[in-house]
Every structure is written in C-alpha cells, then in structure tokens.
Chains A and B, each alone.
Chain A
Amino acid sequence: MTTPPPTAGPTRHGPVAERLALHGLDYPVPARANRLDFMLGALTLVSLTLLAVTGIVLTQYYNPAPLAAHGSVQYIITNVPLVTFLRDVHVWSASGAMVLVFAHLAAVFWRRGFRNPREGLWWSGVLLLALLFGLSFTGTVLTGDQEAVEALAHATAGADLVGPLGVPLQEAFTPSTPLLTRLYGVHVSVLPLALVLILGLHLWLIRHLGVSATGTERALFRSHLRPLGGFALLLVAVVGIFAIALPHGLLAPGVGGFEVTKPPWEFLWIYAAENLLGMNGMLIAPAVLFGFLAIVPISDRQPGRGATVTRVLGVTLFALLVVAIVYAAVAPGQTHLGM
C-alpha cells in the first residue's frame, strides 16, 4: 500500500505544536520545492543567522577605535580560544552566505522566478544582495590591518568619484567620530536592520506569492522543513570544518599609502575591473551588475526575443564574474589608487 499524497487539510498537533500555532506551517507548496535548488535562499538565511550570533559575541571583544581595533582583534586571536573559533566561523559564514546567495540568484534567474507577479520578490532580493556586499565590505575594514586600510582607502577614493553622494564616506563628514568607528556602527546596526526589514518583505512575498516551481503535485510546507533542516545542519558542519581547518589570519596593522593586498574573493571582480579600467572600474562593475539585475524582470516579461537576450546576457555576466574573480586572484597585484 503506498503512502497517500499529503493534503492541505488539518493535521493532528501535540500540545506544544498547538500552542506555538505550528499549524500555520501546514500550507501547500509545490512538491518540487523539496529540492536543494529551491532551498538556497533559506540556506543563505542560515548563514546570516550564524553571522548574527557569532557577530554578537564578537562585539563584546572588538574595539572600534582606530588605534585599538587591530589590537583587539589580535587579542581575540591570541587570548580567547572560544571567541577566536567563533571569529573563524563568522568569516567562513560570510563566505558561505556570498556563495549561497549567488547560487540562489542563479537558480531563480535560470527558472525565471522573477516573472509576474514576482517582480517585487526579485527586486527585494537584489537589494538584499547589495546589503550583503555592504556587510562584507564594512566587516573587512574593521580589523584595521593592511587589507582593511587598503579597502578603506579604495572606498574613500570611490566616494570622491561620486561627489556629494560619497560625502558620508569621507573622514571629515563627522569630525567627532573616525570613519572606522562609523563603519562599525553601520556594520552592526544600520545594515543588519535594513537586512531584516527587506528580508521580512522578501519572506512575506514568498509566503503569499508562492515558490516559482512548476508541477501540480503539492506538499505541506512542514515537509519542506525536514530536508531544509538537513541541509542547514550540513552547512553548519561545513562552516565548522573550515573554521577549524583554515582559521582566518590577521595581517600587520595597516599602513596607509601602500597597496600590497587584494580584497576578499567576493570583491575580486571589482578589483579586476580596476585593473582594466582604473579607479572608475570600482563604480562601473557594480553598476553593470546591479543595473542588469534591476532590469531583468522588465526585459524578460514573457517568452520572446527579450527573454532570450536577457538569459544570454545573464549567463554571460555570470561567467564573466567568475572569470574576473579567478583572473584577479592569480594576476599580480596592481596599484589602483591615483590611477
């Protein structure tokens, strides 16, 4: 006798489930959504949760004053075993979040999950991607080491290029507070708050517009949670393995006026653009990527030439992104400031 297909009807709940209103999880979703390629967004959220938890612990040990920042990170590494492990989990979770969000983006793009009525879902996702880049950048500059100082120098040089829009990234914007300390405030409050708000909208839209999976077979969302939980635990395990096997180091205290490091891997495509186009590459590359992502739901509304062109452009851009990252990783370092 085969197991009857799940239905959206009421199921029995224990006393705890009843009091936690878990019946709210018994809504139907496409059965096809129980595959990994439909869980990449949720796994990104798992990475963000790891980041939040480990980040809260790190705030208790990190000193955002410019002359004390590097020393506080060095103190964590050399004196507090648990916190240095959590710092490594924090760094590897950040890499994991970036990998997963790009995989999620690629999967949604490929199956055209941005078409009517999911345009808002796509655009909120693009905003979330931008926020993740912002979090990654602000996190990079907090260590006060050579990589951080050079990242900050690039950011202020980029701020110079955009005129009044870049004023908040100038040292003199608030003479009372150094730029590093302000970026720390952005990293731990402004960006996470924006992330939570946009994520709330994103999840609301998923819940009410549904997952863009084809097929008529349905399953209960609660059945979706089982494989999702499994993948989430595997993700946590992988992050933990990387944190133990490849702990994150710290460079020497940053010395301004030098360019001897390369940015974290998620920014190497911008580094490659700077190699080719000079400092303007720092603005052109993100403008091209996010500009394309913004117009996708408009250019690919229905089957036709627009859809084909959009898909080809998307695949090409993604391939270029990967090639740019690899190229920048292996190419000799270049000086960009002053180009």
Chain B
Amino acid sequence: MPLCKSWLSRALAASCLAAAITAAPAAAIAADALRHPEGTLKLAERQLVAGSTVPIGGEEFAEHGKLELFLVGVAGRFSLGDVTADSVGGFAKSFGIPTDLVLGAYRLVAIATDGDEVASLNVELLAEAPSSDEGAGHAEDDSGHVEDGHAHDAGPAEDAPTDEPLILERAGSPWVRGGAVVGIIIALVGGGLLLRKPQATV
C-alpha cells in the first residue's frame, strides 16, 4: 500500500507540473489575444472651452467597440458621453464640454465597456476661446495624435496631480467622537488594571 501511495503521489506531482508548464504560456498568449487595441484620439485644438461643442475623432479602436469619453483631472472624472466605433475602429462625433468644471489641465480619456482605458490625450480647459495668436500656434502642432494611446506631456505644473490630500469637510458627530473617547478611556483603564501584578496573598 505505501508503494501504491508513493507511485500515485509521483504521478499526481508530474501531472501538476505538466499542467503548470503548459498553462503559464497559454495564459500569456490568451492575455495578449484579449488585450484591447489601443486607439488614438484626435482633436483639432488641445485647448477646450467650457460650454462649447468640440468635434472629437478616433481611430484604431476595437471594431464596433463602445467607448465612453471622460475628462479626468484633479477635480474628478466627468463623462462627456458615449460613442461607438465603426467597422474599422474609427469615430467622429461632437461632444459638449460642461460649463461647471474647474479650469485647468485634464486628460481626455476613452474607456472601453469593461473599464479599461484605451486612449488618452492631454487637454486644457479654458473659460474663453484663446486669442487668434495662441490658436494659430496650437493649430500648427499635431492635432492631438497620441502614438501609443497612453503617452502624456506634463501640462501646467500648477495643475498637475500632487500628493497633497484633498481638503474635505469630514463628517463629524459628537456621539461618534464622544463614544470613541469613552472607549479609549475604558481600554486604557482596563489595560492598566489587567497589567497590574496580582498582589501576593499573605
């Protein structure tokens, strides 16, 4: 019987090893096959005006894939709307820019239906249309073509993400705070009592 068990355990170990050796590359291949095509967003101007309507184009996305466009910045994420790519993975649609966003640097982000980010572009949100001189300068730049879909340029330093915590109005309750203080006092007193050495009996 011990001989049987030894043979069986060796066979089981060999099977597991074989499965692991074949599963790992299979998983890698599957992951590659399932990876989203990374598309390219196209904008005529990288400076967006709050309240305006902006034509946004895209190419090289998943064929007939549904995308949702967001403006992502330090103030949060704001949806611009949905679009569905055509049979060759492209789209062209106008989107309204909200009027109530904090001005400054944002990323225009395209997100697929499973939440994956598939393209992004740095933009700046302005209150008014830029002057003709500024507009001409930017019109001569590339139209927002992002070669790998995730490249970025730094943007204005004062609007870049920071490690400073948000200034939030924390919810407070005298009952919660009072209860916590009472609990702390009880724990301190109880702990002290338990740590006192028991007195020797006489």
Contacts and interface: CB of A to CB of B under 8 A. Distances in A.
A215 to B, nearest CB: 18
Given A78-B169, A172-B35, A237 B72 contact: no
A130 B42 CA distance: 45
Nearest to B20: A164
A234 B191 CA distance: 5
A173 B31 contact: yes
A170 interface: yes
A233 B163 contact: no
A118 interface: no
Interface of A: 1-3, 65-67, 70-71, 74, 77-82, 84-85, 146-147, 163-165, 167, 170-173, 175-178, 180-181, 226-227, 229-234, 236-237, 240-241, 243-244, 247, 249-258, 260-262, 333
Interface of B: 24-25, 27-28, 31-32, 34-36, 70, 72-77, 107, 111, 114-117, 120, 150-152, 160-166, 168-173, 175-177, 180-181, 183-184, 187-188, 190-195, 200-202
B118 to A, nearest CB: 10
A78 B120 CA distance: 30
A160 to B, nearest CB: 11
B150 A74 contact: no
Contacts, number: 159
A251 B188 contact: no
A164 B173 contact: no
B76 A241 contact: no
B171 A81 contact: yes
A230 B171 contact: no
A22 B111 CA distance: 58
B120 A256 contact: yes
Contact of A252 (B25, B74, B117, B120): B74
Given A67-B77, A237-B187, A79 B171 contact: yes
A258 B31 contact: no
A146 B163 contact: yes
B126 to A, nearest CB: 19
A255 B161 contact: yes
A252 B166 contact: yes
Nearest to A1: B202
A229 B184 contact: no
A289 B177 CA distance: 41
A256 B150 contact: yes
Contact of A178 (B32, B76, B114, B192): B114
Nearest to A261: B163
Given A167-B28, A170-B31, A78 B168 contact: yes
A255 B28 contact: no
Given A232-B191, A240-B183, 18 more contacts: A71-B76, A81-B175, A82-B173, A85-B180, A164-B25, A165-B24, A172-B31, A172-B35, A172-B116, A175-B114, A175-B116, A233-B188, A236-B187, A237-B191, A240-B180, A257-B120, A257-B151, A260-B160
A258 B171 contact: no
Contacts of B175: 81
20 contacts: A85-B180, A163-B28, A172-B116, A175-B34, A227-B195, A230-B192, A233-B187, A237-B191, A240-B184, A244-B184, A247-B170, A249-B166, A250-B165, A252-B74, A252-B162, A253-B72, A253-B76, A255-B161, A256-B120, A257-B152
A80 B25 CA distance: 47
A249 B165 contact: yes
Contacts of A261: 163
B56 to A, nearest CB: 19
B162 A230 contact: no
Nearest to B201: A3
Closest 4 CB pairs of A and B: A249-B165, A230-B194, A233-B191, A230-B195
